[in-house]
């Protein structure tokens, strides 16, 4: 996922000396800093990297608890109305961590790849630390982890983070490479068929965690394309994966595709400056070329501007190799699980009926 390892030992002294570390000198003590990471947005992409990096410096990393209706409701109450549900969940998780940790880490993802043209992430990901800073004035300023690969390599954000915490820069290569290995292990679990929440459970709770049922074979195969924070949070997606599995479908998630799978699709796709949305477009293209996939669900959150464009591109520009059916599912904080269950069950039943009819007619119709 665009983590660049080269050059970690150079340019360290060029980090701005104006970075204020005084706020953390008095609270560290002998126990190590308690750093909270909200279980929202980029948690489902980069938590293993951030956790391993910070723990290598003796920090105590505390994620917020899994999303529940209370967290979702609290975030909805605090946040402005016209943002997507994923941002409202972030606000709820920050509120959960308030006064329980010494600092709350909020990634600022400006650009996550370097290309021949400008690339960006969602405006809300770019502005996430600012939104938290001004919405929670009673809290200390959030601890930022800034990624702007268009202008600086990935490890530069690690250097700035270390300086912000007043930790030694000498020997930073070892914590960095430890974090890279943990991130690679996590991504390997995703490639094996696990969705983000289940991969994280297996990483930190051991191999005793039972293998999810959705990996098993089903009489129909449904691909679900969406951001990791939508696929990984059952409160936000209203247990969509569970209801597809309960209906007898095998589920494939867009997070299961490798970077090579996505890059293979890019020559046939229009260029997009939104990196994560281009990733979803490539994932949709990959699944729609697979004849073993019976249907695809494009999962998005209401109010997501970039996704609204990509959804139209998937519908208008991509041509399925077989007769896959596309269903768009838009979620917000008012979505009901019963409605998602009904749509999931009806979708699987329809795919099963189509498959049976094609079998009875020799593949025609």
Neighbours of 90 (CB within 10 A): 29
Provide the pLDDT for residue 2: 47
Residues counted in the chain: 365
SS3 content of the chain, % helix, strand, coil (to 5): 50, 15, 40
Contact 183, 3 (CB under 8 A): yes
pTM value? 0.85
Dihedral angle computed from the Cα positions of residues 295, 224, 131 and 72, in that order, rounded to the nearest 10 degrees: 100
Tell me, what DSSP letter sits at residue 353? H
263 is written with which tokens?
Answer: 């890059």
pLDDT of the residue at 7: 40
**Pairwise CA distance, residues 190 & 184, whole Å:** 10
> CA triplet 130, 81, 334: central angle to 5 degrees?
125
- Residue 361's CB is within 10 A of a number of other CB atoms, namely 9
pLDDT recorded at residue 273? 85
| Among the listed residues 128, 114, 118, the one whose alpha carbon sits nearest the alpha carbon of residue 46 | 128
Measure the CA–CA gap between 325 and 308, rounded to whole angstroms.
19
Provide the pairing of β-strand 34-37 with 103-111: parallel
What is the pLDDT, as a whole number, of residue 24? 52
Radius of gyration (C-alpha) of the chain in whole angstroms: 21
Which mean pLDDT values do the consecutive 10-residue runs of the chain (365 residues) have?
A: 42 37 49 87 93 92 94 89 88 91 91 83 88 85 86 87 87 91 93 91 80 80 92 92 91 92 87 87 90 90 81 79 81 87 93 82 57
- Predicted pLDDT of residue 212: 80
Which residue in 197, 219, 227 sits closest to 209, CA to CA? 197
Quote the pLDDT of residue 321. Answer: 65
**Domains annotated on the chain, with CATH:** 12-187 (no CATH), 213-360 (3.40.50)
Using CA atoms, how far apart are residues 218 and 196, in angstroms rounded to an integer?
A: 21
């Amino acid at each position: 996922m665009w983590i660049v390892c080269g050059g970690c030992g150079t340019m360290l002294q060029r980090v701005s000396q104006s970075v204020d570390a005084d706020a953390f000198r008095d609270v560290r003590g002998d126990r190590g800093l308690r750093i909270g990471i909200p279980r929202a947005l980029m948690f489902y992409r980069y938590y293993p990297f951030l956790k391993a990096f910070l723990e290598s410096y003796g920090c105590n990393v505390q994620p917020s608890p899994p999303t529940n209706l209370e967290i979702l409701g609290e975030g909805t109450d605090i946040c402005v109305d016209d943002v997507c549900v994923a941002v409202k969940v972030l606000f709820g998780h920050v509120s959960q961590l308030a006064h329980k940790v010494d600092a709350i880490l909020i990634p600022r993802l400006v650009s996550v790849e370097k290309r021949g043209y400008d690339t960006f992430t969602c405006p809300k990901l770019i502005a996430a630390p600012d939104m938290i800073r001004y919405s929670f004035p009673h809290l200390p300023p959030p601890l930022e982890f800034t990624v702007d690969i268009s202008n600086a390599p990935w490890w530069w954000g690690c250097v700035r983070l270390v300086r912000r915490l007043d930790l030694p820069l000498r020997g930073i290569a070892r914590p960095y490479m430890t974090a890279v290995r943990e991130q690679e292990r996590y991504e390997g679990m995703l490639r094996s068929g696990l969705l983000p929440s289940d991969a994280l459970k297996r990483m930190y709770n051991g191999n005793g965690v039972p293998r999810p049922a959705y990996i098993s074979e089903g009489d129909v195969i449904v691909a679900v394309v969406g951001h990791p924070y939508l696929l990984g949070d059952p409160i936000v997606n209203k247990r969509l994966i569970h209801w597809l599995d309960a209906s007898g479908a095998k589920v494939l998630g867009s997070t299961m595709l490798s970077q090579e799978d996505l890059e293979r699709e890019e020559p046939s796709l229009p260029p997009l400056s939104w990196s994560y949305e281009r990733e979803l477009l490539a994932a949709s293209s990959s699944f729609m070329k697979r004849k073993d996939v019976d249907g695809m669900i494009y999962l998005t959150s209401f109010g997501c501007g970039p996704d609204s464009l990509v959804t139209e591109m998937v519908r208008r520009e991509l041509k399925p190799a077989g007769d896959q059916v596309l269903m768009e599912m838009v979620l917000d904080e008012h979505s009901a699980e019963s409605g998602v269950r009904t749509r999931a069950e009806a979708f699987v039943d329809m795919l099963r009926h189509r498959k049976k009819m094609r079998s009875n007619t020799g593949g025609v119709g």
